[in-house]
Structure 1
């Protein structure tokens, strides 16, 4: 009986080993492989010279991950293709060895033409994928800030603060530099935000996080700072960091944040910005 149990345990162990995704044949058959061995295993090339589209393959077949200079995973597998988003300056290839360690190598890349890039990059950071400055929309909106209905309005409707009134609102909340002459600059490198009040931070977005179909385009989240007058007045002017994107087309950036606990039709604040 003991022999039967022993044989069964060996069989299970062999099965688990055969399913281990980190098991890599060829150069990494040892406990770990060198950077040079990994480089000789991977072929990485641009589909079109100087474009941001790439293909990769491995021989012998080796499971690898492809990352950009910020550590974002672009692709994974033994072969495939990927499109890098701006600013793409280098690519890292890494593989997990059988002993759990990791081997990687990086190489710089030159991109002079970006294709198939999600429009959010152009809409937030400008046509050149570098930086874009945003100010209060004093042209296409009848107000720049105010209160309205959550998931029903796309701009303030209950209480509208015009361009002529925004300085008073900002001064009353200790944010005078956020007034009519205020600005915020989004820089793609590092996804950085700089503001007229002297604060800096970062932004991130989730275009799959839709509150209501047909109303918003996802969320824009600030870290380390807020947009101009980015507070909730009825909550003691606490900073607001997450916003619904109501309009984002490269010329306009309209945002909304609800009062805590608000449901459809409840109280929400609205921010109307334009490209400088």
Structure 2
């Protein structure tokens, strides 16, 4: 075998070694642990205080990323999120290693001041979770009345003792839990069974009455769950997922739903709740 052929074969061998894909596979299949994660969650400082705007950074981790910060989730590796409650708050990072294993790490941040946060988060959810029940101080807690006219059941009225006749297990002893965690809404029936979904609100969705006065101060929407006895009887008892907010403070919540096409004094349904 001549020298030229020998040198050519050696060069090919070296090239194959330098391009051995096993080294690349080792990198891709490697897994890191939570202790090895180089990630940060840093509150932006405003007027010397930690604000609710949190800078998240998982750049360079080398795994798929997901951040859960209480009222939301992001898959961005470098972004800023807005938390809605003050105090010590947990942010959970979840990564997916190339070998299919998951890694989690929880970072606690201190939020001292809230900026651009609707106060309804605290009203609905308290310090994180808050229960709401029927307002048993009233003679009627559900029923219908005039859209943009009444602010409580004014025509057909239903007392708390009669709610179970309309929605089994959703009368006395039933409750709703609004939670910042995942913006979740859990309906807990009197027998202990639960239905869980989520909620959102828009306090810019104002409805005025015929005198141009504010009748509804916002809108509450739910997903996969209704409020207690959340149905529309004249629509085949269909579920209601969108409600006008007539009143909402630390102790009272009044919701309404107008039937489709209802104009002023058309048929609307009303729900009367209080904080537990």
Give the TM-score taking structure 1 as reference length: 0.63
Aligned-pair distance for 1:222?
Answer: 0.6
Structure 2 partner of 1:46: 45
Q: For 1:44-193, what aligned pairs fall within 5 Å after superposition?
A: 45-47=44-46, 51-53=50-52, 69=69, 70-71=72-73, 84-86=83-85, 89-90=90-91, 108=107, 110-116=109-115, 117-126=117-126, 128=127, 130-139=128-137, 141-168=138-165, 170=166, 175-193=167-185
CA, structure 1 residues 152+49, in 2 after alignment: closer, same or farther (shift >3 Å)?
Answer: same
CA distance in 2, matches of 1:45, 1:144: 44
- 1:46, 1:55 within 8 Å by CA — same for their partners in 2? no
Q: Per the alignment, in what secondary structure is the counterpart of residue 165 of structure 1?
A: helix
Is 1:269 aligned with 2:269?
Answer: yes
CA distance in 1, matches of 2:196, 2:43: 37
RMSD: 3.3
Structure of higher CA gyration radius: 2
CA distance in 1, matches of 2:187, 2:229: 11
Q: State the 4+ residue runs in structure 1 displaced beyond 6 angstroms.
A: none
Unaligned 5+ segments in structure 1 are 1-38, 57-66, 93-106
CA, structure 1 residues 48+233, in 2 after alignment: closer, same or farther (shift >3 Å)?
Answer: same
How many residues are treated as equivalent by the alignment? 199
CA, structure 1 residues 244+160, in 2 after alignment: closer, same or farther (shift >3 Å)?
Answer: same
Q: Per the alignment, in what secondary structure is the counterpart of residue 247 of structure 2?
A: strand
Aligned-pair distance for 1:269?
Answer: 0.4
Structure 2 partner of 1:237: 237
Structure 2 partner of 1:202: 198
CA, structure 1 residues 153+48, in 2 after alignment: closer, same or farther (shift >3 Å)?
Answer: same
- 2:44, 2:50 within 8 Å by CA — same for their partners in 1? no
